[in-house]
Amino acid sequence: MAAATTAAAAARVGLLYDERMCAHATPDGEEHPENPERLRAIWRKLSADGVASRCMIMKAKEAEDKYIASVHSQNHIKLMRSISSKEYDSRRNKIARKFNSIYFNKGSSESAFLAAGSVIEVAEKVAAGELSSAIALVRPPGHHAEHNEAMGFCLFNNVAIAADYLLNERTDLGIKKILIVDWDVHHGNGTQKMFYSDPRVLFFSVHRFDYGSFYPAEGDASYCFIGEGDGKGYNINVPWEHGKCGDADYIAAWDHVLLPVAEAFNPDIVLVSAGFDAALGDPLGGCCITPNGYALLLTKLLGFAQGRIVMALEGGYNLRSIANSVSACAKVLLGDKFRFDTPDMQPFESSWRVIQAVRDELKTFWPILSNRLPENISLRSRPSQIELYSSGSDSEVEDLPDAIASVNIIQITDGIISESLSKLNLDEDKIATKTTSSNVMVEGPTDSVEPQNDGSAAVSTEGISSLSSTWRSELSKVYVWYASFGSNMWTPRFLCYIQGGKAEGMNIPCFGSHDTSPPRGSMWKTVPHRLFFGRSSTPCWGTGGVAFLNPEINHTENSYVCMYKITLEQFNDVLFQENRLVKENGESGKTESPDSPLIGLSEIEFVSRNKGVHLAPIKDSWYSNVLYLGEEDNLPILTMTCPSSDVERCRSGELPLCPPSKTYSATLIRGLMEGKHLDADAAAKLYEVWGAVLRTQERDTICTGQVRRCGVSCNGGREREEVWVWKDER
């Protein structure tokens, strides 16, 4: 298959690079993945390969405020304009800490305005026909930046600004429909929100999702978020369930989702949010796209909009990998004659399942997706835990076969992928070691217990007995009290974890426990912990925070919990489901869960002694911390919540805090009413209070009945009252 561009078009490929955008750097020179060397490494590679000399080199110019204001608030623009000025020297770092993964220095303002202006500049020239296509090497990146908030290394949403400029400022250019393809490994949350109801923009984001735990860890990265109003069906998310996705997975997403929809949409121009952090060897992405893979993905896009493509750099943090990948893409735009062998690769079974789910969600809007996917496709199983724990490095990319590193001739074969994966080296000192018992992993020496800052501890191997494959039958005879909070206080919702299905208000069903027997009893209790609402959305409940119990004991606080008497086997199944460890096998249709428990008999003893345990194998999951809350009828009371490190991240603003959604609120209220802790009048008042906050989010203090709102500055620096705490004020 040959690239669609011609030799004549090759002379009209724009390449924008400006050293001034390298002035944005960490304030004290500390190491950071998003650093100036990213641009310089790409430029050196393009120059060495002779690519730069074949392009029309362009310099950046700053975007005007009025164009940025099309997608960002005036307050945000004003802050970005002045943050590098002398008047902010003493408080620049403090302001940066209010945002999620952001730093500022004296060069940040100029770099941000240059990055936004650069993408406008190249997009305008491509739209006008002065260039056939273009690459904008810009930083800081942009696709995470939201209307009034910088986040995820992004200050302005460069691609969104350029898209709005073409649609609304330069209507004379005839750009009426824009396809935005975001292949950065992270979800383009900012871009999605800016065009969520606009049918003129087809937004396609393929990204790691990991059931909502991968950055930016928001539920609206799920495939069920497809737009609203007139824009319904024009927002497409392809959310991978895990890392190690590579060329085969992305090609499958292109062939079976993006390309058929793009053909029906027929865009006038294609803007690519070109992040290269899904590349093999990237330290943040954990995926495996080769330079060949990126070149093929880009080649498949050349058939649209007469090849009018604008690439704007987003993420990508392995310098060699990002340089090789950009060079491969530039050669595609220049019309080099690449040969693409028919790829004999296997996508993951999970990727195939995600693609099917995306098609099912969108087929009403794009009938072409109603066609059946090919059958009898050879698929790979989920990568092993060791594969997922492995980290990227420059050496891995340096060791790639010449066909990949040079990309002069692009050949994609399963053998190349396998060989590349076989070269991954593990840092054994940083990988947790599985114990001989439950799936509890230890970080650090195996003969010690390392205290955690919440009073719990990581489990050592000493004293842990081995559990056989019959663990379910053994643990089915052991009872515990599961202390539920949040939505699980409403019994119909909790029973979804036991019997499967979903209750009113839930977007997705639960798989249920292997043992579907109802609880042997229930009771209510107050515990000396604060309940707060973290994160900003979930696949199950949509937009809004969900409940977490602060692991730290605070005897001035009281939270209600509804305790269910269930078996230890059922408790593990609830723990599996709360942490998204249960999957459906696409081939057999059966559900699959971990083959060993997270909490066994020896862990019960350990938890009772140490008041808690942080489960290292799922340490990045939302509910990875099991707390011991005492005993009732000689049975331990256990609950699951976040680690103390997440509480600190919420306090610092790294993780968002926000009120619960109306549907989530309803389950909490029903639970409290069922437990006789709220009457109908109090529930109505609570609804009224929560509704007011959800509507206005204004700064004030509300205390009423069982609920108190406490002042916390949220991650975006907005002064809002966003932590909800259950209080017994009687």
Q: Which residues are catalytic?
A: 144
Closest CA to 189 of 169, 175, 209: 209
Helix, strand, coil percentages in the chain from 3-state DSSP, rounded to 5: 35, 20, 45
Around Cβ 429, how many Cβ atoms within 10 Å? 7
Query: The tokens 């493509």 sit on which residue?
Result: 309
By the 8 A CB rule, do 275 and 314 touch?
yes
Give the H/E segment covering residue 493. helix 491-499
Helix/strand/coil (H, E, C) string of 301-329?
HCCCHHHCEEEEECCCCCHHHHHHHHHHH
Single-letter residue type at 77: I
By the 8 A CB rule, do 237 and 361 touch?
no
Closest CA to 538 of 667, 651, 638: 667
The span from the CA of 656 to the CA of 122, in Å, is 35
By the 8 A CB rule, do 122 and 102 touch?
no
By the 8 A CB rule, do 407 and 332 touch?
no
In the DSSP assignment, the letter for residue 453 is T
Strand-pair partners of 16: 58, 136
The span from the CA of 37 to the CA of 35, in Å, is 6
The span from the CA of 353 to the CA of 678, in Å, is 43
The span from the CA of 367 to the CA of 365, in Å, is 6
Collapsing DSSP to helix, strand or coil, 282 comes out as coil
Q: Which residues contact 77 (CB under 8 A, 6 or more apart)?
A: 65, 68, 69
The structure tokens listed for 696 are 């206005």
Backbone torsions φ then ψ of 180, nearest 5 degrees: -105, 120
Give the H/E segment covering residue 420. helix 414-422
The span from the CA of 259 to the CA of 70, in Å, is 29
Collapsing DSSP to helix, strand or coil, 480 comes out as strand
Q: Which residues contact 165 (CB under 8 A, 6 or more apart)?
A: 67, 70, 120, 123, 124
Farthest-apart Cα atoms in the chain, separation: 82
Helices 108-127 and 74-82, interaxial angle, to 10°?
120
The structure tokens listed for 450 are 């390392």
In the DSSP assignment, the letter for residue 132 is S
Strand-pair partners of 543: 537
Closest CA to 707 of 721, 727, 681: 727
Helices 680-696 and 662-674, interaxial angle, to 10°?
160
The structure tokens listed for 79 are 């802050």
By the 8 A CB rule, do 369 and 355 touch?
no
Helices 662-674 and 491-499, interaxial angle, to 10°?
100
Rounded to whole angstroms, what are the CA distances from 142 to 67, 76, 159, 164, 653? Answer: 15, 14, 7, 14, 20
The structure tokens listed for 689 are 């209070």
Strand-pair partners of 626: 613, 640
Around Cβ 394, how many Cβ atoms within 10 Å? 13
By the 8 A CB rule, do 542 and 661 touch?
yes
- The angle subtended at Cα 389 by Cα 384 and Cα 391, nearest 5°, is 125
